[in-house]
Structure 1
């Protein structure tokens, strides 16, 4: 998820624009050499023609096409980087499991040098595995550790070697673990000048012996004012609140997530968050709350100050609604169903700019078209039919008409699964209208889940 300020991860404008230099490079890549007698006529097309053709292909077809020759690979890689950043071709990410260690050892030096992000899932993580992966540690910018057990010293074995690390995420935290957290926590007493984002996940598990209390966390933040984003669970934040309340720690953004089934409900968490905001511990809050069953719980969540991004997962028999909340810029709902009154929500969140629906119908989009002037992007993970959606085709002209009815409305880009995108494009022969345009989900890096 990243500018490490917790904003939705996007490519910079420089990455997204097709600069004159890049265009020249790609044109040269597809130009037919005067000395070549075997070049395919398709390679005579310019970049604009290629990009128009690529829009009609599935992403699987694009992957196959990029393997046909070096010239097309270069053109397609450029197209994907510019137009489909979420595809991650050649983006230098790797996930390391026990059964993948042999494949990792077979990578050539050039491939190894490209790795900037890694998730380590060995359990236990022993000296043997550390010796294999230590070659990539100095260049890593993002590191996720998913292991209960580490046979060794985390700082000396791993963190000390990470010279360029900006993002450190640690999962599977338990107080009785002898892994990354627990067993001395000496690395929490050190300065880490390059790290800007820390994430710690205890799976939101409470109870004696499970809820981790780590007084060293206060020391970590005091020694490292460069850490500006902290991601964690309701539970871990709650049980370590004594170290944060009344401190001089100041971060820019707090990402917090968890389930709403504590004995005291959400009142303890929400009161704590407001206290932390009022003392200046964080400026901006991103929250993901699951298993919301009562209107009272939702009201408490909405009362939290500094909230900029809110993702909700309901489990209620009643239709819930949101009180007005002008500071929320991004809203996510995992499954709409009959849980929430979207008309009221769209009217209440007057400054929301991005909406993500995990599963719903096309008509779940319409309230935001009708009432939310500032919404610019809507993503739907899975469409379940309904009005304005037939045979996999979205009635974009109807949605465009709905948007036109709202004075001063911004243009909306709707991101959908590519099956829906291609079916709609084939049926309508276009996906771009005056106030609504349709794109594949891969056209945007939308990291909506805050959970580890």
Structure 2
């Protein structure tokens, strides 16, 4: 036997013909692998063959259509993005993006270079959403990024360094803008808003203390077409603004407002909102002022579908008024005070359309009351419970009791309980995996989803939420229960994606 033949036999793998090669994997397996790759890795793998090119494009559309350049999944590590890396991503996937978030702290290039690159690669495509954090914006940047501004539908400006005159010029170039959000813009007094935005339907102002109330009043009077308004954490807002809103925003459908200064005329001013014929969603605080007459007035209009109340006394009279809101689908009770109400069972019984019930910092409601509520709310699908010491954490015995209460309902709809990071961790330690599996068909405990972070609603001063993040459905290591948490991964980044998807610092935590 020749040496060559002997060598071939020595290295021959008898199982080679049965081995599965990477290219033999079906599309679902490949997409599962793509889940674990960074965006830059996806850019590289896309050019290996036509099949991977098509799969990478499909995957990007499904997962990264909303791209946050602040996330660690861009490079797979915490490091600044270079200009070349940014161009690679935008050149490869820029055509598929419809939502982009950029934080100046995440890039090596200076602000104007980053925005000019986005303008070059994404400017021709209409962006549904664009958010910029901590950017320095000057006249040159505004002028050089015309295509970007003109194609934005929704714009969020967070803690950017831009003066009123420059911001006014920028906003005037946003000809298709229908949603505008301004967060922590301490270097502007609001003069940039004192003109008409014909396409604008929604406006949100959060944690802006330097605004001139006259500028805000002028803005509301010039933009009567607004359908959604959010004023949270702004120290200039007092209850006199209710009358201005009612006089001018006749088409308003959603109002989220935290009144910092409450006058002696609070109840009279609040009642002005009853004149809004299209109002469907309302969240407000009352600082222990009487609101029973107002809630009764809302019931007479029979229009409210979502209501959030903060800092009120939960009295039998208020409970009776709430029971008359027959079209209510979402109810939020935040930082409620003890008003000698013994049970909230009647709310569950009377509001037969209620799908969501949120209780935040409500020690006036205990676990037994919540059990009664669940059993008597026929359509309830979602409970959001945050910082309620008499309800959370849920023990294994209480978990079974809650599941049994949910099963007593006629429709037997699955109920999900949404908890924040710390309380979910504690509850999960008390409930075994076997128990979760047994009752999964009727009850599950899941992470607080990002839409429930109350950034657009009303919460107390004691609640803090991260600026970016959200619930993430994919759980690669955990068992077959998709609770959004990796059991083998250390808990970090509260209200985040339950991996390390999001990057923010302490400055990105803010009170309302």
Q: TM-score range by the shorter chain?
A: 0.5 to 0.7
Deviation at 1:381, TM superposition (A): 4.2
1:187 is aligned, of 181, 192, 195, to 195
Rounded Cα–Cα distance in structure 2 between residues aligned with 1:394 and 1:445: 30
- Taking structure 2 as the reference length, the TM-score comes to 0.56
1:300 is aligned, of 280, 294, 298, to 294
Q: Which residue of 2 aligns with 1:31?
A: none
Residue by residue over 1:5-33, the C-alpha shift from the partner in whole angstroms, topping out at 9 and shown as x without a partner, is xxxxxxxxxxxxxxxxxxxxxxxxxxxxx
Residue by residue over 1:321-378, the C-alpha shift from the partner in whole angstroms, topping out at 9 and shown as x without a partner, is 5222223221123356867754344345443211223457765642331221121222
Residue by residue over 1:218-276, the C-alpha shift from the partner in whole angstroms, topping out at 9 and shown as x without a partner, is 3332xxx5x4333347947834835853x6x64150313123761225312321111x2
Range that drifts further, 303-312 or 316-325: 316-325
Instruction: Give secondary structure in 2 for the equivalent of 1:267.
Output: helix
Q: Which residue of 1 aligns with 2:156?
A: 144
Residue by residue over 1:135-157, the C-alpha shift from the partner in whole angstroms, topping out at 9 and shown as x without a partner, is 632332211245696252544x2
Q: Which residue of 2 aligns with 1:357?
A: 359
1:353–1:203 CA distance, 2 compared to 1 (3 A): farther
Deviation at 1:187, TM superposition (A): 2.9
- Taking structure 1 as the reference length, the TM-score comes to 0.62
Q: Which residue of 2 aligns with 1:197?
A: 202
Which runs of 5 or more residues in structure 2 are unaligned?
A: 1-15, 46-51, 75-96, 458-511
1:343–1:215 CA distance, 2 compared to 1 (3 A): same
Range that drifts further, 408-417 or 87-96: 87-96
Q: Is residue 267 of structure 2 the alignment partner of residue 284 of structure 1? A: no
1:238 touches 1:272 (CA, 8 Å); kept in 2? no
Instruction: Give secondary structure in 2 for the equivalent of 1:256.
Output: strand
2:436 touches 2:444 (CA, 8 Å); kept in 1? no
Rounded Cα–Cα distance in structure 2 between residues aligned with 1:312 and 1:117: 29
1:211 touches 1:239 (CA, 8 Å); kept in 2? no
Instruction: Give secondary structure in 1 for the equivalent of 2:282.
Output: strand
Instruction: Give secondary structure in 2 for the equivalent of 1:300.
Output: helix
1:166–1:371 CA distance, 2 compared to 1 (3 A): same
Rounded Cα–Cα distance in structure 1 between residues aligned with 2:17 and 2:369: 57
Q: Which residue of 2 aligns with 1:310?
A: 307
CA RMSD of aligned residues (A): 5.2
2:335 touches 2:361 (CA, 8 Å); kept in 1? yes
1:412–1:256 CA distance, 2 compared to 1 (3 A): same
Q: Is residue 411 of structure 2 the alignment partner of residue 405 of structure 1? A: no
2:358 touches 2:383 (CA, 8 Å); kept in 1? yes
Q: Which residue of 1 aligns with 2:262?
A: 262
Which runs of 5 or more residues in structure 1 are unaligned?
A: 1-33, 55-61
Q: Which residue of 1 aligns with 2:471?
A: none
- The aligned runs of 1:216-295 (5 Å cut-off) are 217-221=220-224, 225=225, 227-232=226-231, 235=237, 238-239=240-241, 241=243, 244-245=246-247, 250-251=250-251, 253-259=253-259, 262-264=262-264, 266-274=266-274, 276-277=275-276, 280=277, 282-289=278-285, 291=287, 293=288
